[in-house]
Amino acid sequence: MMLHNLDSHHAVEDNYIFPKFHQKSEKFRYGLELLENDHHLIHQSIDILTSEGNKIIRTLNEKKDIDHKLLIGSYSKVNDNFDKLLIAHLHDEEDLLIPLVSEYGEEYFGLGH
């Protein structure tokens, strides 16, 4: 569920919010493109995370005698990589977008309620 919500969140950013920033702030275009590229990397990571999780489920259902530490260790590495990527992305968003919105206001970017 969380991974699906993350996908929806990024769709809103990519299709609505980021284009507003592109239109208003030429000097931040590179940073916005970096954030959009992060979305692609995050979604690739989601695919890997899902695949590894499904592999664990299949393996546990098929084999009774399995080294659980070894099985979970592989997933743990994938999950750690996902966490690092997502946290770095969130920090980048905060560093780039919050100062812009604070300086110019939501209405300037067409984000007001």
Q: Which residues contact 43 (CB under 8 A, 6 or more apart)?
A: 7, 10
**Mean pLDDT, to the nearest integer, of 72-99?**
92
Q: Which residues contact 39 (CB under 8 A, 6 or more apart)?
A: 10, 13, 14, 89
pLDDT digits (tens, 9 = 90+) for 21-45: 777 777 778 888 899 899 999 989 9
Could you report how far apart the first and last alpha carbons of the chain are, in Å? Answer: 27
Mean pLDDT of the chain: 85
Following CA atoms 36, 41, 43, 49 in sequence, which dihedral angle do they give, to the nearest 10 degrees?
A: -160
Q: How far are the Cα atoms of 13, 26, 47, 48, 90 from residue 62, in angstroms, in the given order?
A: 41, 55, 22, 21, 38
Long-range contacts formed by 75-78: CB under 8 A, 24+ apart: 78/45, 78/48, 78/49, 78/52
